[in-house]
């Protein structure tokens, strides 16, 4: 249909709209002249026409000006036929949809470069009928069905069902599928589709697929299995692809069954099936599943996208996507509806993906997840999250799996159930300037503000964490080079004994520096925990209701250091007549009437019971022994350290051990004499120390050696008032100077 140039300009003028311009010249003029002269540019040239499309319920001025007028209704649908014809006629130009409702039955499809599909804001609605006809297709709008496009755009419109906004239309598929290099998306709302709100990247053309005919071998969980395939003729296979059990890319709204597939050296006659996106075990993939070749897309820019109540994810960014930016995008998952919606808010598998000032809430799982499980070969999974809010999600605010060089900066988290941020097997992730308040599931100690699991070189800096019953930050497992620095942690429940400001669990090479907290910092007894540094922290702990045992810093690694931690961490004020000194602290003692006896660390060190002796099988043997068995398994003992073992003659002998498993000490060395019945006392490692000062002049303060140890060659030592002393352990004995 020829362009009505004057009608279009008159309509836009009457409605205070400006046509698309390039360098001050109306793009419409050249394209319209070419169309009228019969010399329209070829598709993909970037010099297409501007086509005006009116809905059946657009006003009379719109109908008069339009090049195409849709006739669909809520019971007939079919407007996609008219819109698709307009897209073809535009030949890479702009298709303008006037205000009104456009009823689609099948997808609106574009396979031309440079095409712009533009509405008039929320007044332009792509509607999915809920009665009369059944919608079908991969998505309501597909840009890049049979090929990857270049510089196409969708903007200023809305996709939703016919009825109320919360109605979910079965079979409506995803909202918008977009596969385009240098593509642009702006100001688009997608609501209540049965699949994902948005699919960025991927492939929807069934002609490019390869069908799996049967498995060669029965699949086993978490193993690679070979499958025979039947290739579509003349379709080149890429280095990797995906497999799905449905006619489209997964059942809309449900990605179960999607697995990563790697083409083997034997070509398209066989493939290797490995673990899939969600990390679940592989189950039998039926004959008829399809292998889908996919091309990469680059530099998608998206602003002000809004996904409301999706049946699947708010937005899925396929592994083929790279260097894409999403700005001020919002996902309301609808977890709070009578029938919960929204599996994930943003789910990204691509590389170098940026989220700026985005907002994800009420999703059943995570607000944002970057998960390269099984896809580590695709890219490094770099993700940047700058600003935005991730709150009230059923699991985590943000989760990163197998991601590298990730960055989360200046984001806000509130009332996520599990963690604000979860890291798993990541490397060189930076979390800075975060504000996290209240973990909804924190009544269970397994939930934290930050949980970094087996993630190396992580930096958690300059952030604020408030409220919650559980530990604020846990660094677990392999985490060398991780730094937790200059954070503020307040409002943790003081009545919860398991709550710590920072907990180091089985990790090494971690530095905890300069944080201000009101709960303890703990290096626990998980095997592998050692060689950490905890210094320069301010531990206020002014409302500790569970006793001094949880105050300050607790370390268990033989080579971990903790010093210059202010507050209760370093200085302890003592007024009791008897107490046990605590390592790495300065004790300020005001002796009461009758004096004070200070028992040096030894018996009961790290809270171990003082009535643990040697098992009968380890009594009556000559030291040294490689293994010693205790009469019971003590609690909270260091992974490796020193013990005083009872020997005949009423003495104790000094023995080192490298590991403990239940009641068995292994890697034992040193000691002399014949073992006998009696208590086994745990000692700190050599070089451990504490400081002590008697701050009053009256009465006396006496240091008492633990069983089996001496102080300066004697069983006790009396302090001089107003003088600072340092006590250091060496070979089981204390030197005070």
The domain locations on the chain are: 1-176, 196-202+296-417, 206-293, 439-448+462-569, 605-683
How many other C-beta atoms are found inside a 10 Å radius of the C-beta of residue 531?
15
Tokens found for residue 437: 């308040």
Cβ-based neighbours of 351, under 8 Å, separated by 6 or more:
321, 322, 323, 378, 379, 380, 381, 382
pLDDT of residue 265: 35
Secondary structure (DSSP) of 115-146: -EEE--GGGEEEEE-SSSS---SSEEEEE-SS
Instruction: Characterise 325 by phi-psi region: left (phi > 0), alpha (psi -120 to 50), beta (else).
Output: beta
Secondary structure (DSSP) of 438-471: --TTTTSTT--SEEEES-BS-EEES-EEEEESS-
pLDDT of residue 447: 75
Q: Which residue stretches of the chain have pLDDT < 70?
A: 1-48, 131-134, 163-167, 169, 202-296, 372-381, 440-446, 469, 492-498, 541-551, 566-571, 602-611, 635-637, 685
As a whole number of angstroms, the distance between CA 617 and CA 490 comes to 50
As a whole number of angstroms, the distance between CA 602 and CA 659 comes to 18
Which among 453, 403, 459, 456 has a CA at the least distance from the CA of 434?
459
Q: Is the dihedral of CA 680, 684, 685, 691 positive or negative?
A: negative
Tokens found for residue 321: 């996507």
pLDDT of residue 252: 29
Cβ-based neighbours of 164, under 8 Å, separated by 6 or more:
none
Tokens found for residue 517: 């907290």
CATH architecture for segment(s) 206-293: Beta Barrel (2.40)
Which of helix, strand or coil describes residue 649? coil
Helix axes 5-14, 27-36, angle to 10 degrees: 150
Which among 26, 266, 297, 310 has a CA at the least distance from the CA of 184?
297
pLDDT of residue 369: 93
As a whole number of angstroms, the distance between CA 189 and CA 361 comes to 16
Tokens found for residue 117: 């599909």
Phi, psi of 29 (to 5 degrees): -60, -50
As a whole number of angstroms, the distance between CA 135 and CA 133 comes to 6
pLDDT of residue 650: 81
pLDDT of residue 632: 84
Secondary structure (DSSP) of 77-100: --HHHHHHHHHHHHTSSEEEEPSE
pLDDT of residue 496: 62
Tokens found for residue 376: 């580590």
Q: Are 667 and 639 in contact (CB under 8 A)?
A: no
């Amino acid at each position: 249909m020829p362009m009505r140039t004057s009608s279009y300009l008159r309509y836009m003028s009457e409605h205070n709209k400006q046509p698309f311009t390039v360098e001050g010249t109306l793009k419409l003029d050249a394209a319209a002249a070419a169309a009228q002269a019969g010399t329209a540019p070829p598709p993909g040239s970037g010099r297409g026409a501007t086509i005006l499309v009116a809905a059946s319920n657009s006003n009379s001025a719109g109908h008069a000006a339009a090049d195409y007028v849709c006739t669909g209704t809520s019971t007939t649908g079919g407007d996609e036929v008219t819109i698709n014809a307009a897209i073809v006629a535009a030949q890479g130009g702009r298709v303008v949809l006037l205000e009104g409702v456009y009823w689609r039955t099948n997808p609106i499809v574009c396979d031309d470069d440079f095409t712009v599909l533009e509405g008039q804001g929320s007044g332009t609605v792509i509607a999915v009928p809920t009665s009369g006809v059944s919608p079908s297709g991969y998505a309501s709008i597909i840009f890049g069905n049979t090929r990857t496009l270049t510089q196409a755009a969708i903007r200023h419109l809305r996709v939703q069902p016919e009825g109320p906004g919360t109605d979910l239309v079965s079979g409506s598929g995803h909202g918008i599928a977009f596969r385009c290099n240098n593509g642009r998306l702006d100001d688009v709302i997608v609501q209540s589709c049965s699949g994902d709100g948005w699919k960025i990247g991927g492939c929807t053309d069934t002609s490019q697929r390869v069908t799996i005919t049967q498995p060669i071998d029965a699949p086993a969980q978490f193993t690679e299995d070979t499958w025979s395939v039947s290739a579509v003729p003349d379709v080149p296979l890429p280095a990797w692809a995906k497999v799905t059990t449905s006619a489209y890319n997964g059942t809309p709204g449900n990605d179960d069954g999607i697995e990563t597939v790697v083409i083997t050296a034997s070509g398209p006659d066989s493939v290797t099936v490995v673990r899939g996106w969600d990390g679940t075990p592989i189950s039998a993939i039926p004959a008829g599943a399809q292998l889908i070749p996919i091309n990469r897309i680059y530099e998608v820019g998206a602003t002000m996208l809004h996904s409301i109540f999706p049946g699947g994810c708010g937005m899925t960014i396929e592994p083929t996507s790279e260097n894409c930016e999403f700005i001020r995008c919002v996902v309301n998952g609808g977890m709070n509806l009578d029938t919960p919606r929204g599996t994930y808010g943003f789910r990204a598998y691509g590389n170098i993906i940026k989220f700026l000032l985005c907002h994800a809430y009420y999703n059943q799982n995570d607000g944002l997840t970057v998960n390269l499980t099984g896809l580590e070969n695709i890219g490094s999974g770099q993700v940047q999250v700058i600003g935005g809010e991730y709150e009230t999600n059923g699991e985590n605010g943000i989760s990163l799996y197998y991601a590298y060089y990730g960055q989360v900066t200046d984001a806000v988290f509130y009332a996520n159930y599990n963690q604000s941020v979860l890291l798993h097997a990541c490397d060189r992730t930076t979390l800075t300037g975060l504000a996290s308040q209240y973990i909804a599931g924190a009544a269970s100690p397994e939930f934290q503000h930050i949980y970094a699991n087996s993630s190396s070189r992580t930096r958690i800096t300059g952030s604020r964490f408030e409220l919650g019953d559980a530990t604020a930050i846990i660094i677990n497992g392999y985490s060398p080079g991780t730094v937790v620095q200059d954070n503020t942690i307040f409002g943790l429940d003081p009545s919860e004994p398991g709550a710590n400001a920072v907990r180091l669990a089985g990790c090494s090479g971690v530095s905890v520096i300069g944080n201000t907290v009101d709960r303890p910092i703990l290096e626990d007894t998980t095997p592998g925990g050692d060689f950490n540094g905890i210094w320069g922290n301010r531990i206020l702990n002014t409302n500790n209701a569970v006793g001094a045992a949880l105050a300050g810093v607790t370390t268990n690694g033989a080579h971990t250091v903790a010093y210059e931690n202010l507050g209760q961490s370093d200085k302890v004020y003592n007024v009791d007549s008897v107490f046990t000194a605590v390592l790495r602290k300065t004790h300020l003692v005001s002796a009461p009437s009758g004096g004070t006896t200070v028992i040096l660390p030894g018996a009961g060190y790290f809270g171990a019971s003082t009535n643990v002796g040697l098992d009968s099988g380890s009594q009556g043997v000559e030291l040294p022994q490689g293994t010693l068995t205790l009469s019971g398994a003590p609690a909270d003992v260091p992974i490796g350290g020193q013990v005083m073992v009872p020997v005949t003659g009423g003495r104790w002998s000094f023995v080192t051990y490298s590991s403990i498993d239940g009641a068995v000490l292994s890697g034992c060395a040193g000691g002399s004499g014949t073992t006998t019945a009696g208590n086994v006392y745990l000692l700190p490692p050599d070089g451990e120390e504490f400081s002590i000062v008697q701050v009053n002049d009256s009465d006396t303060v006496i240091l008492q050696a633990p069983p089996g140890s001496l102080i300066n060659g004697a069983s006790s030592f009396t302090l001089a008032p107003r003088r600072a002393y340092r006590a250091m352990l060496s070979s089981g004995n204390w030197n005070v100077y």
